[in-house]
Structure formats: C-alpha cells, structure tokens
C-alpha cells in the first residue's frame, strides 16, 4: 500500500499511536508539526523514519494546500486540549476555525476523505441509565470551553465539502501520555500517592486503550461511512472501580474520604480565579472536571464494533502500561 495520509497531532498522545498504526498498516504519512520556537533552526519539510514532517499552523490552514496535494486521506487529530482560562479563545481558534480551514484546504488539494478525532464528551453523559451513543449530543455550555469547542469542531468538519468520518474516543489510557492528558494526570497523581480524597458523587467514565483508538482511526479510513460518528470505548467503570483497579496495580491505597461537591466546586472556582489573575497558571482543579465528576460518562460503542471491527482490549492491561507495570 503506497497511499498517503496527512496526519495532524502526530506528536501528541493519541496522534503518536495513530502514526505508528498508519505506518504499521503500510501507509505513507505526512505529519504536521507546529513551527519551531527558534525560526533559524526550522526545517519546513524533513523526512525521518518513514514519515515526512511538515511544518505548519492550523491557524494558517490555507498555507497547507500544497502539502496536502497527493494525499488520499486526512486524519485530523490535533486539538488544543486545555482547561486553562487563558486558552479559552485559542480553543475556538484552533479546534473550530482551524478545523474548518483545514477541511477546506484538504478539499482544494483533492483529498478523498477525512477522519476527525472528536471526543465522546460531545455525546454527554448517560441518560436514564442508558449509556450515551452516537444519537446523543452534550448540552451546550460555553462555560466549558474545551468541550464546547469539540462540539463546534464536529459541526465545522461535517459542514465542510469533504467527506468526513468522526471518531469519538472515550478516555484513552496507555503508554506515552507524557504531557499528560487530564486522564493521564489523574492516573499519575494517584500513582504518586497525591490523591487525598475521592471526587464528589458517584460518577464514572469509560476508559479505552489508546492503541485501540489508533486502530479505530485506521479502520475508519477504510470502512467508516462518511457523515457518521463512531464512539470508540473500552469499559464503563465507576470512579471507585477505577481507583480500586489503580490501587491494585500500583500498590498505592485508594483514598477513603470523598470530597463534598460544594467544597470541590468552591475550590475549583477559586482555582479558576487564580488562573485568570495569573496568565501562566494551569488549573489543578478544573471547573469542567468538577462539574462532570458526578456524571456517569458511560458510552455504548456497538456501532464501532459492528462497522469498524472495534474490539476493545482489557482496560486493566492499558492502565498497567500507563504506569509502566506491564
């Protein structure tokens, strides 16, 4: 197979696994990376380990038409994943306007179809004990800038002239989450023994091995139906079940106390104020996370299993790889 895929987000957690899966499957890859901080050291196009790296910026997506020419597919995984108040405006510029511009550039370049990495957060939480699925959409709340931007990103992608398939991963876990993602930060905090209380409420979430998410992206290139959304999950777990699993893996005891919701909300609001006053601050208790802590973010991924051949691997093994215990 010598077909070429243009990939964004290849240096991130999920994107790096998609890159590996594309190469293993036999695709040629052109991977976008952001401009270097030191322009004098910049290389606008270089090839390494079978990947052609293209320097560019999603806020200047029109400049990418030339780099997209000759690519059959686009996988758009890049996004600004931040709960920091300072990044609110940037979330919309990059995740929404940047996606619209990239899809238009790909269409003009003759790309055949695109796969968008969306998020299961666009589905919202479980409804009346029914896990969320592709029929569902989260309630729009502009206060939650990141999640709201992902809703608008999906709309921008599907409104483009390019055939688009959307992959909606739940919370990916596994090796290589170096920065880390909010889920990765949660796992790291627990493993370091720095989690002193359980989150409020009896919420839960769906965890999925990041390698499974990568495989689903490649399957979507080949078998996904244009205009469709595919939730890609692993296991629906209560938060208490996740703590128990992590305790068993790491040997670190799970906290016994549960933080009251009112207290957690007050701490998050104070933290948000701190971040607004300090432009360089990063929230340690994001309001978006606290608001979701009481929800069961459970997902039904039957559609991806049926149409894409998605076959989730055990979450426990993925958590072991995430903490380096496999």
- Render pLDDT for 75-130 as a digit per residue (tens, 0 to 9): 999 998 877 777 888 999 999 999 999 999 999 999 999 999 999 999 988 887 79
> Of how many residues is the chain composed?
326
Place of tokens 């299993």: 305
Phi–psi pair at 263, nearest 5 degrees: -70, -45
Lowest mean pLDDT: which of 31-40, 154-163, 311-320?
Answer: 31-40
Phi–psi pair at 164, nearest 5 degrees: -125, 135
On whether the pTM is more than 0.85, the answer is yes
Residue 283 or residue 274, greater confidence: 274
Residue 146 or residue 26, greater confidence: 26
Pairing of strands 235-238, 204-209: antiparallel
Residue 180 or residue 264, greater confidence: 180
Q: How far apart are CA 319 and CA 306, in angstroms?
A: 25
Mean local confidence (pLDDT), 226-239: 97
Cα distances from 172 to residues 87, 95, 165, 277, 321, in angstroms, run 22, 19, 19, 32, 12
Considering all CA atoms of the chain, what is the largest pairwise distance in Å, rounded to the nearest integer? 57
Interior/surface letters 237-262, b for 16+ CB within 10 angstroms, e for the rest = bebeebbebbeebbebebbeeebeee
Q: What pLDDT, on a 0 to 100 scale, did the predictor assign at position 135?
A: 95
The three state secondary structure string of 145-201 is HHHHHHHHHHHHHHCCCCCEEEEEECEEECCCCCCCCHHHHHHHHHHCCCCCCECCC
- Show Cβ contacts of residue 296 under 8 Å, excluding neighbours closer than 6 positions: 125, 126, 202, 203, 204, 205, 236, 238
Interior/surface letters 138-160, b for 16+ CB within 10 angstroms, e for the rest = beeeeebbbbbbbbbbbebbbeb
Which of 173, 295, 166 has its CA nearest to residue 220?
A: 166
Do 151 and 140 contact (CB within 8 A), yes or no? yes
Residue 60 or residue 2, greater confidence: 60
Lookup: tokens for 65: 């038409």
Alpha helix ranges (H) inside the chain? 13-25, 65-68, 88-92, 98-109, 145-158, 182-191, 210-223, 239-250, 261-277, 287-292, 302-308, 315-322
Above 80 in pLDDT, residue 182? Answer: yes
Question: Would you report the helix, strand and coil content of the chain in percent, each value rounded to 5?
Answer: 45, 20, 35
In this prediction, residue 142 has a pLDDT band, given cuts at 50, 70 and 90, of: confident
Beta bridge partners of 198: 258
In this prediction, residue 233 has a pLDDT band, given cuts at 50, 70 and 90, of: very high
Q: What pLDDT, on a 0 to 100 scale, did the predictor assign at position 325?
A: 65
Which of 183, 194, 196 has its CA nearest to residue 264?
A: 196
Q: How far apart are CA 61 and CA 96, in angstroms?
A: 12
Above 90 in pLDDT, residue 326? Answer: no
Domains of the chain and any CATH numbers: 4-322 (3.40.50.720)
Q: How far apart are CA 22 and CA 215, in angstroms?
A: 8
Do 242 and 198 contact (CB within 8 A), yes or no? no
Mean pLDDT of the chain: 90
């Amino acid at each position: 197979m010598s077909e070429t895929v243009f990939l964004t987000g290849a240096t991130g957690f999920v994107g790096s696994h998609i890159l590996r899966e594309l190469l293993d499957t036999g695709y040629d890859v052109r991977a976008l990376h952001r401009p270097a901080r030191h322009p004098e050291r910049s290389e606008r196009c270089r090839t390494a380990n079978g990947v052609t790296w293209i320097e560019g910026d999603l806020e200047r997506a029109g400049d990418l038409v030339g780099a997209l020419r000759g690519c059959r597919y686009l996988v758009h995984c890049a996004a600004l994943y931040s709960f920091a108040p300072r990044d609110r405006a940037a979330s919309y510029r990059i995740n929404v306007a940047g996606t619209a511009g990239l899809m238009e550039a790909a269409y003009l370049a003759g790309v055949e179809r695109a796969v968008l990495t969306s998020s299961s957060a666009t589905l919202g939480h479980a409804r009346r004990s029914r896990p969320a699925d592709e029929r569902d959409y989260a309630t729009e709340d502009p206060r939650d800038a990141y999640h709201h931007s992902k809703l608008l990103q999906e709309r921008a992608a599907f409104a483009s002239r390019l055939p688009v398939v959307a992959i909606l991963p739940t919370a990916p876990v596994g090796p290589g989450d170096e920065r880390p993602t909010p889920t990765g930060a949660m796992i790291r905090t627990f493993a370091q023994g720095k989690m002193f209380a359980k989150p409020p409420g009896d919420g839960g979430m769906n965890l999925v091995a990041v390698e499974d998410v990568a495989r689903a992206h490649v399957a979507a290139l080949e078998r996904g139906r244009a205009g469709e959304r595919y939730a890609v999950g692993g296991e629906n777990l209560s938060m208490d079940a996740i703590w128990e699993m992590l305790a068993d893996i790491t040997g670190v005891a799970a906290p016994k106390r549960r933080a009251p919701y009112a207290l957690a909300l007050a701490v998050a609001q104070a933290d948000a104020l701190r971040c607004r006053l300090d432009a360089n601050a990063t929230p340690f208790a994001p309001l978006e996370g606290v608001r979701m802590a009481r929800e069961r973010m459970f997902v039904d991924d039957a559609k991806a299993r049926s149409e894409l051949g998605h076959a989730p691997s055990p979450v426990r093994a993925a958590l072991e790889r995430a903490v380096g215990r496999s």
